[in-house]
Structure 1
Amino acid sequence: MADKKVTSNIPHNQYQAMQNLKSDQTIVIKSADKGGAIVIMDREHYKEMSLSQLQDNQFYKKLEQNTDRQTMLKIQKLTKKYQGNLTKNELEYLTDFEVKTSHFYGLPKIHKCKEIQENVNKCNSTYIKLLRPNDLKLRPIIAGPASSTQRLSNLLDIILKPLCTKVTSYVRDDMDFLNYIPQTVPRETLLVSFDVTSLYTNITHELGIEAIKYWWDKYPEEIDDRFPANFILEGLRIVLENNDFLFDDENYLQIKGTAMGTKVAPTYACLVMGFLEEKLYNVLPETFDLDFTQYIKENWKRYLDDCCIVNDIPELLESDIIFHCLQSTEVCFVYLWIDDPVFVTL
């Protein structure tokens, strides 16, 4: 029986427009970083914005050649060292697959671009046209579902994820967050939210390793006892230090932070933030009384870098609330204090 002819539900002129956009080599089409919008950018402008990030020597380094082979040799050496702790399937999963190099791309942060927002407010339309807005930034993504480190990253994520539930401020998802919101609050209560500046790329490798070791030492029972701490830390270092990728046919290496795209990144970032919070809880009594310290510890909640606190402390409500960025090991951490600025070294 012949296949039935399928009638397109897209008008011909719209279909043709989509094909024209698809074949146009002068543009790049990306989804917006937030909000679900589609952004069509001039290819050269997109390339310039991407290169402006990749040329930042604090975070990225240009490579002469691809390093996937060397990275796989490191993973093979790791698995051989700990082969007694890994099943046959795990050994094959980590080493026996076709490696494909990661690729860099950027998601336009239109929600933070003043030029775009001003034009949106003025325009009564479903789309706007704005050429090369000066303040548009990109969120860097390194996509590599078959990269050399992705499977090791996935295994580490599975191993470490149970530790997240031990973080005092941990919020699993939006429904979990709603469970923390009080049913009734005083009229003057403020719901205050913060986020962390470029969390993934700002976590130094040494801080990350220190944080993971801290949580492993504190809650070893949460980790499958087949996996020793050294396997986890050595494997994590391989993932962090061998994040190479391609952009515009050039090889690069991320030398600081973790990639937004690798499997273990959210769990890793959550535990690093939790580690810094533990340090904060320890030093709060040096400046504030125990009741205030306990209030912060119980009410400060966080999902990755999105922090929130329900503020109904009279002393805070009667004072000017001052927000300060506490710079700790190069991670920008935001907390609120009262009256005079209080800077705490974590």
Structure 2
Amino acid sequence: MLLSLYYLNTLIPFSNEQLLIINKGLKYIPPCQSYFYYRQPIDKIIQREYNRLHDENVKNLTDYTFSTCDKRAVEYFAEVKNLLEQLYKKPLPTKLKRHARYMYNMIKSMQRKLQKANIAVGQTDKSKLFFFIDAQEYQEKITNYMNKTNAYQEITSGICPLADNLHLVILLLDHLLQRNQITKEQYKQMYPNVLTLELAHIYFNLKVHKPEMSVRPIVASINAPARKISGFLDELLTPIYNYVTKDITFINGIDVIRKLNEYQQQGHLTSTTLFVIFDVADLYTMIPRDGAIAALTRFCKKYSVNGKIGNVNIDTIIQLACVVLDTNSFAYKDKYYRQIKGGAMGSPFTMVLANIYMLEWEQKLIRHQQRHNEIYGRQIY
């Protein structure tokens, strides 16, 4: 049985062997493909991989005030370089090399077939399946989504916004540090890594669990200038939100059943009880920016201690939140865009901001249900 595929109005021009490769799932990594994919000398490949590992580890060492000139650090990096040379220069066993080349040829063949048949491939939303769809139909779904939400504005100047976004982030962090509104440690925690900096890009997962088969935009912003600020705000606010909403949050299906069982034992379940579900479509990309910031401000004021969340005052939180939203820019199909509604899916702060906004909207319904001994809950995923 093929469990890793989802076809949508299209036929897949693959052989049985190629379908079996796809069925290995999204996490499958064909072995030893660097021997065939990279057209560079092996020494350049080794140096590139070493530089990447070196930069990542240097950052970790400096974060913990560990000198990179320490004898142990020097020996460690020498061992890393030596290990990479062994792994890349050691001849592959004949059987493994034959299998690696076979996989390389199969994958290249699959790519050619998909391109010839004009078929788009991607990951389904909220599941670990590949989807296959006519590329034109897929693009129509994306275009319809962008037109419907009006959440994205093209940067018509054609100038990459990365430098401006970086400037905004650094300017704010420097300002907050100078005014002692954040600590030196928090400054380092949120400061962007200029060595790995890159503009975000957007891709679209297919919502196969929805009747209309729409798309969900994911902004890949892991190396964007404000990504670390987004993570900082998420870590600061999410524990408070989770605590405040613990009684109105469904963790999973088992949690729903448990609460229904309590509801029945209390004598509230009757033959006329109504079970109602509703879905807020495109929540993260549709919340109004000003409304979300206002809701965040009220949330922070309500649950702050002496005007602070942790050791960060409310005004600082709002400034950080605004710079995350202001720098929501990405590349798509050789153009640059700015998100002007909601937050970017893929940014850690977006979920907690949307949830805080929804919490205000839910209050009237929550109070109504509580007054009548009924259940209200929201599952977040």
Q: TM-score, normalised by structure 2?
A: 0.63
Q: For residues 97 and 360 of structure 2, what CA distance do their matches in structure 1 show? A: 54
Structure 1, unpaired ranges of 5+: 114-134, 285-291, 306-346
Match of 1:112 among 210, 213, 229: 210
Q: Give the 3 Å change call, closer, same or farther, for CA 231–179 of structure 1 in structure 2.
A: farther
Residues 250 and 380 of structure 2 are in contact (CA less than 8 Å); yes or no, is this contact kept in structure 1? no
Q: Which has the higher contact order (CA 8 A, sep 6+)?
A: 1
Structure 2, unpaired ranges of 5+: 1-89
Residues 192 and 228 of structure 2 are in contact (CA less than 8 Å); yes or no, is this contact kept in structure 1? no
- Whose helix fraction is larger, Structure 1's or Structure 2's? 2
Residues 168 and 274 of structure 1 are in contact (CA less than 8 Å); yes or no, is this contact kept in structure 2? no
2:171 counterpart residue number? 77
Query: In the alignment, is residue 103 of structure 1 matched against residue 201 of structure 2?
Result: yes
1:196 counterpart residue number? 280
1:140 counterpart residue number? 217
Cα displacement string for residues 290-342 of structure 1 (whole angstroms, at most 9, x for unaligned residues): xx65236x62111238xxxxxxxxxxxxxxxxxxxxxxxxxxxxxxxxxxxxx
Query: In the alignment, is residue 252 of structure 1 matched against residue 331 of structure 2?
Result: no
2:378 counterpart residue number? 302
Query: In the alignment, is residue 21 of structure 1 matched against residue 110 of structure 2?
Result: yes
Residues 366 and 376 of structure 2 are in contact (CA less than 8 Å); yes or no, is this contact kept in structure 1? no
1:182 counterpart residue number? 261
Q: Give the 3 Å change call, closer, same or farther, for CA 72–12 of structure 1 in structure 2.
A: closer
Query: In the alignment, is residue 152 of structure 1 matched against residue 236 of structure 2?
Result: no
Cα displacement string for residues 136-164 of structure 1 (whole angstroms, at most 9, x for unaligned residues): 42111111111122111100101111221
Residues 207 and 213 of structure 2 are in contact (CA less than 8 Å); yes or no, is this contact kept in structure 1? yes
Structure with greater Cα Rg: 2
SS in 1 for 2:277: strand
Per-residue deviation, 1:177: 4.5
Equivalent residue letter for 2:326: E
Q: Which runs of 4 or more aligned residues in structure 1 lie more than 6 Å from their structure 2 counterparts after TM superposition? A: 8-15
Report the aligned-residue RMSD: 3.2
**Which aligned pairs between 1:1-346 and structure 2 lie closer than 5 A?**
4=93, 7=96, 16-23=105-112, 24-25=114-115, 26-55=118-147, 58-63=150-155, 64=157, 65-83=159-177, 84-98=180-194, 99-113=197-211, 136-164=213-241, 165-167=243-245, 170-171=248-249, 173-174=251-252, 176-183=255-262, 185=264, 186=269, 188=271, 189-221=273-305, 224-281=309-366, 284=368, 293-295=370-372, 299-304=375-380
Is the deviation greater in 53-62 or in 182-191? 182-191
SS in 2 for 1:237: helix
Per-residue deviation, 1:203: 0.7
Identity level (%): 23
Q: TM-score, normalised by structure 1?
A: 0.68
Paired residues, what number? 275
Per-residue deviation, 1:241: 2.7
Residues 55 and 61 of structure 1 are in contact (CA less than 8 Å); yes or no, is this contact kept in structure 2? no
Per-residue deviation, 1:196: 1.1
